[in-house]
């Protein structure tokens, strides 16, 4: 089988290569999936350049955490799946439900091998059924970006009709958050540096749009759009670079779901506005399999379709990385396998 490899001590994208490997055989509790699609997350860019947690890769590594495929073989003790089932990967291994245990929950794509390969082994506990209404390309977007947005809005924030939500940017997590918030009956304000992307967000249901290049004090515009009340919830993917304005944007007793560091590690993180407003800041790091399964059920029941911006062929994986890194995408960038 063919698999993309991030080599040990990788520092740049051009070092990635395709290797020929033996197709693995499932053990008693494992399934073998013929992967059909995988999608990119921001962390995947950091892994390639050695900027992710733990630094440079410690060994040759198959990248990407988010994948969808079809079960082609199953071990003798497998009860959750059968040959022919369509599945998606879970981000963390051995985290089925509840809060994370003190011991490590390794993630695929780093430090464990990921899904950018023709065949991948999963323990049966570390996969979930794919929503029946989705293509493999759409299903491949769920594992990290989808679950992160679901965890933030539906589990931590408990979004309900009439609430207001601010989403920063138009990447995978933010677009999923827009879709989930609108499905829950909430009002959504979206920011971007691109008018074209903002119009795409409006088409998906964003009722307030802000171009942060033209409006650098976008927090004041958020207050203006909410009659100076602020938003109930912020999906904060920027990190320290945007956190100060998110704290000014959130309403009294509101909540900020802290997810990413897309705007860099430097910035004003003075927590005084949160304290003054009686608001809260909640860290989100993807989620467990139960969240993935509940989200998948909601996607299927509501006939929701994840937003796939562009699909690349397997041998065009480097182009997919470059396209995502450019920031030109709206939603998810997918590699067909």
Burial tier of 37 (Cβ tally within 10 Å: 0-12, 13-18, 19+): buried
What is the C-alpha to C-alpha distance for residues 145 and 171, in angstroms, rounded to an integer? Answer: 9
Query: What was the pLDDT predicted at 263?
Result: 46
pLDDT per residue over 149-206, tens digit each? 999 999 999 999 999 999 999 999 999 999 999 999 999 999 999 999 999 999 999 9
Inform me whether the pLDDT recorded for 314 exceeds 70: yes
Please tell me whether the overall predicted TM-score, pTM, comes out greater than 0.75 for this model: yes
- Alpha helices (runs of H) in the chain, residue ranges in sequence order: 42-49, 136-139, 147-150, 172-183, 195-203, 218-225, 240-249, 272-277, 289-302, 317-326
Query: What was the pLDDT predicted at 267?
Result: 58
Structure tokens at 286: 């993807």
Q: Are 27 and 122 in contact (CB under 8 A)?
A: no
Mean pLDDT in residue range 71-89 = 98
Mean pLDDT in residue range 25-36 = 98
245: confidence class by pLDDT, cuts 50, 70, 90: very high
Inform me whether the pLDDT recorded for 114 exceeds 60: yes
Query: What was the pLDDT predicted at 261?
Result: 61
Mean pLDDT in residue range 292-297 = 98
Inform me whether the pLDDT recorded for 287 exceeds 70: yes
Mean of per-residue pLDDT scores for the chain: 95
What is the C-alpha to C-alpha distance for residues 41 and 332, in angstroms, rounded to an integer? Answer: 8
- Domains in the chain, CATH or no CATH each: 2-141+306-336 (3.90.180.10), 146-283 (3.40.50.720)
Higher pLDDT, residue 238 or 56: 56
Of the listed ranges 55-64, 122-131, 143-152, 259-268, the one predicted with least confidence: 259-268
Residues in CB range of 304: below 8 A, 6 or more apart: 133, 179, 183, 298
Q: Which of 30, 65, 35, 238 is nearest to 146 (CA)?
A: 65
- 3 state DSSP class of 254: strand
138, HSE (Cβ side, Cα atoms, 13 Å): 15
Q: Which of 185, 205, 181, 179 is nearest to 304 (CA)?
A: 179
**The dihedral sign for the CA sequence 81, 84, 88, 94:** positive
């Amino acid at each position: 089988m063919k698999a993309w490899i991030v080599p040990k001590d990788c520092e740049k994208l051009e070092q990635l290569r395709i290797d020929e490997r033996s197709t693995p055989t499932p053990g008693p509790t494992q399934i073998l999936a013929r992967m059909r699609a995988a999608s990119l997350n921001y962390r995947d860019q950091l892994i390639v350049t050695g900027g992710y947690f733990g630094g440079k890769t410690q060994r040759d590594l198959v990248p990407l955490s988010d994948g969808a495929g079809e079960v082609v073989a199953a071990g003798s003790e497998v009860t959750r799946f059968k040959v022919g089932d369509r599945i998606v990967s879970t981000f963390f291994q051995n985290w089925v439900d509840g809060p994370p245990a003190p011991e490590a929950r390794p993630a695929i794509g780093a430090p464990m091998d990921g899904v950018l390969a023709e065949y991948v082994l999963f323990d049966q506990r570390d996969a979930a059924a794919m929503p029946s209404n989705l293509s493999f390309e759409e299903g491949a977007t769920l594992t990290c970006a989808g679950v992160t947005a679901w965890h933030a809005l539906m589990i931590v924030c408990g979004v309900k009709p009439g609430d207001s939500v601010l989403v920063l940017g138009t990447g995978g997590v933010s677009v999923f958050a827009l879709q989930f918030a609108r499905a829950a009956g909430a009002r959504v304000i979206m920011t971007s540096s691109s008018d074209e992307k903002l119009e795409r967000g409006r088409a998906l249901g964003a009722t307030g749009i802000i171009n942060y290049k033209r409006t650098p004090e976008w927090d004041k515009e958020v207050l203006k759009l909410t009659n100076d009340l602020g938003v109930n919830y912020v999906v904060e993917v920027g990190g320290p670079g945007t956190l100060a304005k998110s704290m000014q944007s959130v309403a009294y007793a509101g909540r900020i779901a802290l997810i990413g560091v897309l705007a860099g590690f430097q910035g004003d993180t003075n927590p005084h506005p949160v304290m003054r407003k009686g608001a809260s800041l909640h860290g989100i790091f993807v989620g467990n399999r139960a969240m993935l399964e509940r989200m998948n059920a909601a996607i299927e029941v509501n006939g929701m379709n994840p937003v796939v911006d562009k699909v690349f062929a397997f041998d065009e994986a480097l182009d997919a990385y470059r396209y995502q890194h450019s920031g030109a995408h709206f939603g998810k960038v997918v590699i067909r396998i």
